[in-house]
Structure 1
Amino acid sequence: MCLGIPGEVVELLPDRPDLARVNVSGVRRAINIGLLENDPPEPGDWVLIHVGFALSKIDEEEAAAVLRYLEELGSAYTDEMDALSQSMIE
């Protein structure tokens, strides 16, 4: 199962304008924000992430609802979080 997971943008990486550091349920990873070039996220914004790419900006309320739903999925969410915690974009 492929999931889109909400994450909060913590910082934009100054030396890589296509990357942002995002906090996803306590896991911080660099993700690619290049697909959002027409409406780039800022620190504090929430984005929906799939395979290391921010697909869209979402509001905090929607992010919380999606996280609750994903937690209810159980193992699919856990597997996705494990994969995220092991991924690295440099």
Structure 2
Amino acid sequence: MIPNITLDDRDVLVVLVILVTADCLAGVYLELIPNITLDDRDICEIATFAYRIGDYAWGHEHHHGTPKQRVQAVVIGMKGSLNGKNINSCHM
């Protein structure tokens, strides 16, 4: 049990973990697209997009992770795909 956190806050935390995990899975699948090799520019664009859709609305029902959390998640997924861990790299 997480101290000093209401049930509603725990629900928000669970949703946040699910959404950041989804970002990680997106990173895995981006690297698995057949016949496509992502170059540094592609990776930078993906990270920039993840950063831009992050937010700081902690506790709000529409909070989807901070920019840093979202970038880290998609990069973890992409690296996991490259090193053969695939979706196993997304266990948050």
TM-score (norm 1): 0.31
The structure with higher relative contact order (CA 8 Å, sep 6+) is 2
Between Structure 1 and Structure 2, which shows a larger proportion of helix residues?
Answer: 2
Between Structure 1 and Structure 2, which shows a larger proportion of strand residues?
Answer: 1
Structure with max Cα Rg: 2
